[in-house]
Each structure stands twice: as C-alpha cells, then as structure tokens.
Amino acid sequence: MTNSTFILLIVGLPFLSFLLLILSSGSKLTQKVAGQIATLLMAVTFFFAAKLSLNYFASHLTQQTAELLVNYTWLEFGSGLAINMGVLLDSSSSMMLLVVTFISLMVHIFSLGYMHHEERIANYFAFLGLFTFSMLGLILSSNIFQIYIFWELVGVSSFLLIGFYYHKSSAVAAAKKAFIVTRFADLGFLIGILILGYYGESFDFTTLISRLGDVNSPQYKQITMAGFAGIQALSWGLILVFIGGAGKSAMFPLHIWLPDAMEGPTPVSALIHAATMVVAGVFLVARLFPIFTVATAAPLQIITYIGAFSALFAALIACTQTDIKRVLAYSTMSQIGFMMFSLGVIGDNGAGYNASLFHLFTHAFFKSLLFLGAGSIIHYVHSNEMEDMGGLRKKMPLTHISFLIACLAISGIPPFAGFFSKEAILHAAYTSNKMVFFVGIITSFLTAFYMFRLYFTIFWSIPEYPKTNEHGEGTWSMKLPLMVLTLASILVGFIPFSKYVNSNGIPVEGHLEIVFSIGPVLLSIAGILLAAYWFKTANTKPQRLAISMGNAFVWVRNKFYIDQLYLYITKEIVFKYFGKTAAYIDKNLIDGFYLSLAHFTGYFSFFIRGIQSGNVQHYALYFFGGILGLVSLLFYLLSY
Amino acid sequence: MTPVGLPHILFLSSCLFFIGMYGFFTRRNLITILMSLELMLNSVNINFVAFNKYLYPQNLSGIFFTIFIITIAAAEAAVAIAIIINLFRSSNSIDVIDAKEMKH
C-alpha cells in the first residue's frame, strides 16, 4: 500500500466511525455494539498510523524532510494564490499522528467500561470519532487554511463532547463557554492567516516558510516594510495566529474555558487534555516556528511570557482546588504553559523547540493516564470532590500504582517520562532566559506539590466519613488502558526524541545535563515531601495554613476572580452598554426603517386601490391615457 | 368644388375614430362596445388606404395591412362574442357594469 492509501484510511476510518454511529444511533443494536465498532475502527486506525509514522522515521534517519503526500487545488483565486487540500507529513506530524491515535484508542477502550451504562453511547462514540478525525486532519494539514477548517471542527466536536450531558445546565454552559472563548480567539487566528497569506502569497506551509522564513525573499521584505500601529505586519500576523493558538491551548487570559470543560465525561477530558484540543495551539506555533525565529523578537517574547505566566498562574490555582478534575485541568494548563515558553526561548540549536514537542509527547501519556485514573476513581466513588475520597490505596491497587507513576512523571522525577522532557525545557530556558527559568522551576516545585496533594488525599488520608463501595475497580477495559499508559509513562522518556523531531530537520543528539538536573529534581522531591507532610494523614494543618494565609488563599482559590472579571466585563460593560445600544439600534433604527417602508407601502396601496374598480371601461381609459402620455413624450423627445 | 384630398379623408377617419372611442367609453352594452371597437379599427383602415393612395401610389403595403386588419377584426369579433355569450351565461346580463369580478 502506498502512503496516500494509508493517509486515506487513517483520516477516513474515524470519520467513518462517526458517520456510521451517528446515522444509526436510533437503533437498539447500534447502542449495544457502538463502543466495540468504534474501538475496532480506532484500533485499525492506530495500526496504520503507527505503521506510517514508523515508516517515516525509519526512512528519514539523517534528514527529516517534509513530504507532501497529497496535494489538490481546492479553491483558486487566480494570480497563483490558491487554497490547496493536502497532506503534509514531517517529523512533528508523524509524532503527533502516533500520539493522537494511541491516546484516542486508549480513551476508546476506557470508555467501553466507563460509559457502558450511558443511554446515548452511540452518540458518544460518534463524537469521539469526529474529534479524532478533526485532530488527525489538523495535524496532517498541508496549508494554513486547511488547518483552520479542522481547527474549527475540533472546536465543534469538543463542544459536542463537553456538552454531552446536555440535561445538566452546567454542562451546557461549559460547552458554550468553551466554544465561544475558542471561537473568539479564532477570530485572531483568521486575521493572522489572511495577513500571512496576503504577504506570503501562499497558504501552503512549505511555501510560506520558505518565503517568510527567508530574510532575502521579496515577500519577506514586503511584509516587514508594511505595518500597522507601529508594529510590523509580520509580527501582527504571528501574534494574531498565536492568539488563536492561545485560545485552543488555554493560555492566560483565554484559559477560562478549560476548567469548566471538565463537565464532559472524564475520558473526553483525557482526550482533550492529553492529545487533541489543547496541544493544537502548541502544534500550530511549532508548525510556523521557522517564521517565528526570523521575525522580530516580539512574537516569541509574547509566547514566552504568556507561557511562563500561565504555567505559574495555573500551578498556583491548582494547589487550592478541591475538585480532582479541576486540579488536573489546571495542571494541563500549567504544562501547556511549559511547552509554550519552551517554544518561545529558542535555546541552543533549536533546543527549546525539541524540548517543547518532547514534553507534548510525554505529557500526552501521563496526562491521559492521570485523567483515566481520575475517571476510574470517580467511577468508584461517584464524586469529583477530593473530600469524598481517601484511603483508596487498598481498594484500587492498580489505579493507585498507575496514578502514582503518572504523578511522579508529571513532577519530573527520574526515570519517568516527564523528567526527560521537563529537564530539557528547563535547560533550554536556563541557557536563554534566566527569569523564565526561575518561573519554570518554581512551577515545577508547585507541580510536584499539588500533584502529590492530590495523590495523598485520594489514596492515603482517610476521611471522617469515608464512602464505601462494594463494586470493584472497574472492568478489564478500564484497567487495560491504565496498564498500557503506565508502561508508556515509564518508557517514552528514553526515546532519543530530538534525533527524530527537531526544528530544521537535522537530527540533534539529545544530552542530559546530570549536574543541571539535580536542582530541579531536588525541588520536586521537596514538593512531594511537603505534600506528604500536610496531606498524608487527615489533619487540620492545611486548613490552619489556609486560614493563616487569609485573603491570599481566598484569591487563589477563586482562581484570581478571572471568571468573575469576564462576567463583569461581559454583563456590566459589553451587554449593558454595547449590547443595549446595538439592540436599540437594531430594534428602532433598522427594524423601524423597514417597518415604516412596509407601512408606507400599505397605506399607499390602500389609498390607490380605488383605481382597480373592476369596470372595464375605466381600464380602457387608463390605457388610452397611457398611450396619450407615451405619444406626447415621444413628440417631446423627437422635437429636439 | 375642390376634389377630395388627403385632409378630407383624414378628417373623416378621425371623426370615425373618436365616435368609436366615445361609444367605447360610454356604452354599457358589451355588443355596442364591440361595435364601437370595430368603428375604431375601420377608421384606421381608411387611414391606411388613404396614405397608400396619396403618398405611395406605386406600393400596395397599406392595402395589405387593411386586409390583415379586417381578417384579425373578424377573428377578434368571434372571440369577443364568445366571451360575451359566456358572460351572459354566468351573470345573465351583457351589461359591462355587471362584469366586475376584476375588482380589487
């Protein structure tokens, strides 16, 4: 089979699963076998994706060139500007192909057990298929317009999945919030696309990068000459594209949708957080990375500082949350912040880029493991609140072990996956930007602290009124993904990642600075010990500390009141002033104009309807009058 | 006594035309209206013949037109009479005042 057949199958099968299940979701039989069908199709997809991406890596050992597998002109604007539909396979998309299909498969398998009581299970698996399809389309897109189409599809499918429990008003609100916030950010993305496409005279990634990534090309000169409000057009384009990425990747201040997105089923959170939606922004910036590096420093600086700030900000909030999924949500935001600032600090020889994608890779495994573990716990306890959990170590041994390993991985303890990527990021930051490096290690300390706070409260400390359950840990279909992902979280760190995935296609030998990593690892261990001291047994130390911190704690616990700020701005300012004015204009001026037009027509016709008397002779009279008028007009015109 | 010239004939045809027009607008009986219409058509016929004879005696186009108009007038009279008969059947009258279905 050729590569394009592979691609067709990889992208087509999840879509087939979506179509099949959504069209037949009414029948009882489909409801019964929906999960099995979707999982089977996903397994086949994963098989082909793995084959394709391993083929790619095997055949591109020394030089990772981008391959344009499919190319088809979709919309032609003339003068050489056209929107193509194609498939671009390079090292980063091959890597993502592997991650997305693998995580999606794990989530499918987990959902078999987790969701099997659901009524609308066929719809659920259909939406999972659509989500996977859109994400695969996004990573394989050969041009920036195509990526935008799939980008929106990802938005739609996440909307469908977050709002899956549509009978809960909070889920509906969360789905709307996620959609509107990311859609708002996508406005920036679209304008950015148009700026880059207009000056680059192309939408293709490869052409765009070769033109705008080269300081001597005429297009580059043109885009740097143009500007608006004192900022170069190139910087504008890149910053606007980044705003789109920040919306999807939940960077401050567009992060508000992410914690609320927890209203969806837990496996969906695993998919959104680990492999699909939130890493789309990182992937986008990585795709356009060569342009970022030649542009003025401003866009990359913005990415760096927003990334670093989001990382710290989210880590602080995560320390105070009590809903297990919200803690994980903020930890995702924090880790994505890591990836973002790692892209921003270029590092030596593209080290930041490599480290960022490496972290994306490892994060996918341990974060999906954490979410699936959380799903398993929620399935057992029937609650999201950490207060209802405790002492689960004995009752859920497998979940306990996998959760512990995932926590160690995310905290950056060797030899688990997160250690390698996080050290690479910190090292890249250390060599380029000391301030960001310090933010990074503080965040990494906080990460260890809040993850183990979660771990100890769930599995060790025993609450006053523990909830007991008779049923076991879960079905085999819930245990299997946990085991596989645990194994992955241990092993994937040892992959010499920068040899395969790097910014310019030339393999870089990854190296580990042992001396450098001692500090961050010790800090992480300190975070773990601190968490153990406070949370290993049920006691009042945390409460006393929280009270002694006073208002600061309340601020952090309420997420710095960012949500309230947004609500205030939208309700009190936007709705009250702009919305009401617009509504007034719409109702009275615009509607009024058309209504008065209609009224005028009505009155006028009422007035003149007497002409239609029904008497034939009157009509004949008008007719003669008309002829007389025409003839006199003719005479008048001819007399000149 | 002056010979009959074009102006005389045109005067005659104009008189005929306006008599027809007057009848068309004032009569209530549909048959009379039809007759007035024929009167107007014939005045036009006279015009055609007169112009042909006095202005272009070598041509016959005006005569042709007249013959056409007479033919068409015959057909038109047939259609009009048919309409009038149907009207009479439905409203039992051939008064134009009674045919007011085309009102607003």
Instruction: For residue B102, give the chain A residue with the closest CA.
Output: A614
Distance from CA of B26 to the nearest CA of A (A): 8
A629 CB neighbour count, 10 Å cutoff: 10
pTM for the predicted model, two decimal places: 0.76
State how far the Cα of A445 lies from the Cα of A526, in Å rounded to an integer: 8
Helices (runs of H) and strands (runs of E) counted in chain B: 3, 0
Helix A397-411 and helix A417-432, axial crossing angle in degrees, nearest 10: 20
Shortest distance, CA B28 to any CA of chain A (angstroms):
9
- From residue A406, give the alpha-carbon distance in Å to each of A257, A271, A388, A411, A487: 24, 16, 22, 8, 10
| Chain A residues closer than 8 Å to B25 by CB | 617, 620-621
How distant is the Cα of A603 from the closest Cα of chain B, in angstroms?
15
CA distance A620 to chain B (A): 8
Q: What are the CB-based long-range contacts (under 8 Å, 24+) for A71-75?
A: A71/A142
Q: Which residues of A touch B21 (CB under 8 A)?
A: 624
* Sites in chain B below the pLDDT cut of 50: none
Q: Least CB-CB distance to A617: which of B96, B101, B103?
A: B96
The CA distance from B12 to A341, in Å, is 104
Region of A170 please: left (phi>0), alpha (psi -120 to 50) or beta. Answer: alpha
Determine phi and psi for A431, rounding to 5 degrees.
-75, -20
| Pair of tokens at residue B13 | 């045809």
For tokens 């005067």, name the residue: B11
**Cα four-point dihedral sign A373, A376, A380, A385:** positive
| C-alpha A309: how far from chain center | 18
Inter-chain residue contact B104 with A621, CB threshold 8 Å: no
- Kindly determine whether residue A609 and residue B104, on different chains, have CB atoms separated by under 8 Å: yes
What is the Cα–Cα distance from A586 to A376, expressed in whole angstroms?
A: 51
Taking an 8 Å cut-off on Cβ atoms, the answer to whether A620 and B24 are in contact is: yes
Q: Do A614 and B104 touch (CB under 8 A)?
A: yes
- Specify the pLDDT at position A512: 65
Q: Which of A606, A612, A615, A624 to mutate to test the interface with B (most CBs of B within 10 A)?
A: A615
Which residues lie across from A231 on neighbouring strands? Answer: A228
Interchain proximity B103–A614, CB inside 8 Å:
yes
DSSP class of residue A75 equals E
Does an H or E element contain A360, and which? helix A351-381
Whether the CA torsion A501, A502, A504, A505 is positive or negative: it is negative
| DSSP output for A87-145 | EEE-HHHHHHHHHHHHHHHHHHHHHHHHTTT-TTHHHHHHHHHHHHHHHHHHHHBSBHH
Q: Is A63 helix (H, G, I), strand (E, B) or coil?
A: coil
- ω into B3 cis (within 30 of 0): no
Residue A256 tokens read as 């508000």
With CB atoms and an 8 Å threshold, state whether A624 touches B97.
no
C-alpha separations of A445 from A130, A151, A319, A439, A512 in Å: 37, 34, 11, 10, 20
What SS3 class is residue A442?
A: helix
Nearest to A280 by CA among A427, A131, A162, A499: A131
Contact across the interface for A615 and B97, Cβ inside 8 Å:
yes
What gap in Å lies between CA A607 and CA A605, rounded to an integer?
5
Which H or E run contains A243? helix A233-248
Report d(CA A51, CA A61) in Å as an integer: 16
Whole-number Å distance between alpha carbons of A436 and A429: 6
Cβ burial A535-564 (10 Å sphere, 16+ → b, else e): bbeeeeeeeeeeeeeeeeeeebeebeeeee
For residue A511, what pLDDT is reported? 64
The distance between the two most distant Cα atoms of chain A, rounded to a whole number of Å, is: 111
Q: Are A26 and A52 in contact (CB under 8 A)?
A: no
Cis peptide upstream of residue A218 (ω within 30 degrees of 0): no
Contact B102 A624 (CB under 8 A): no
Query: Residue A281: what pLDDT?
Result: 87
Give the pairing of strands A67-76 and A227-228.
unpaired
Q: Looking at the partner chain, which of B24, B25, B102 has a beta carbon nearest the beta carbon of A614?
A: B102
Q: What is the DSSP string of A187-238?
A: HHHHHHHHHHHHHHT--BHHHHHHHHT-TTSHHHHHHHH-EETTEEHHHHHH
3-state helix, strand, coil in chain B (%, to 5): 80, 0, 20
From chain B, the residues in CB contact with A624 under 8 A are 21
Angstrom distance (rounded) from CA A31 to CA A120: 7
What is the CATH T-level fold of the domain B6-101, as seen in this structure? Helix Hairpins (1.10.287)
Residue A470 is predicted with a pLDDT of: 59
Of B21, B24, B100, which is closest to A615 when you measure between CB atoms? B100
Across the interface, of B25, B33, B103, the residue whose CB is closest to A613 is B103
Q: Are A355 and A347 in contact (CB under 8 A)?
A: yes
Encoded tokens for A224: 């740097």
User: Which residues are CB-contacts of A446 (< 8 A; sequence separation ≥ 6)?
Assistant: A312, A315, A316, A318, A319, A334, A527
> Facing residues of A228 across strands?
A231
> How far is A609 from chain B, CA to nearest CA, in Å?
7
**Separation CA A91–CA A58 (nearest Å):** 11
CB-defined contacts A:B, below 8 A: 29
Residue A620: closest C-alpha in chain B: B25
Q: Identify residues of B whose CB sits under 8 angstroms from chain A CBs.
A: 21, 24-25, 33, 96-97, 99-104
Q: Which of A352, A205, A227, A337 is nearest to A293 (CA)?
A: A352
Tens-digit pLDDT profile for residues A53-107:
888 888 777 666 777 777 777 877 776 677 888 888 888 888 888 889 999 998 8
| Chain B nearest CA to A629, separation (Å) | 17
Which residue from B25, B33, B99 is facing A621, i.e. has the nearest CB?
Answer: B25
Question: Can you give the pLDDT at residue A93?
Answer: 85
Q: Do residue A614 and residue B21 have CB atoms under 8 angstroms apart?
A: no
Q: Which of A488, A499, A496 is nearest to A102 (CA)?
A: A488
- DSSP annotation of A349: G
The enclosing H or E element of B75 equals helix B61-91
* Per-domain residue ranges of chain B: 6-101
Give B104→chain A minimum CA distance, Å: 5
pLDDT of residue A477: 77
Question: Computed from CA positions of residues A502, A508, A509, A512, in that sequence, does the dihedral angle turn out positive or negative?
Answer: negative
Residue of B nearest to A616 (CA): B96
C-alpha closest to that of A111 among A273, A268, A326: A268
pLDDT for the residue numbered A469: 61
Q: Which residues contact A458 (CB under 8 A, 6 or more apart)?
A: A324, A377, A386, A389, A390, A392, A403
Ramachandran angles phi, psi of A265, nearest 5°: -60, 145
User: Which segments of chain A have a pLDDT < 70?
Assistant: 1, 62-64, 79-80, 230, 347-349, 463-473, 503-513, 538, 542
Q: How many CA atoms lie within 13 A of A612 on its CB side?
A: 9
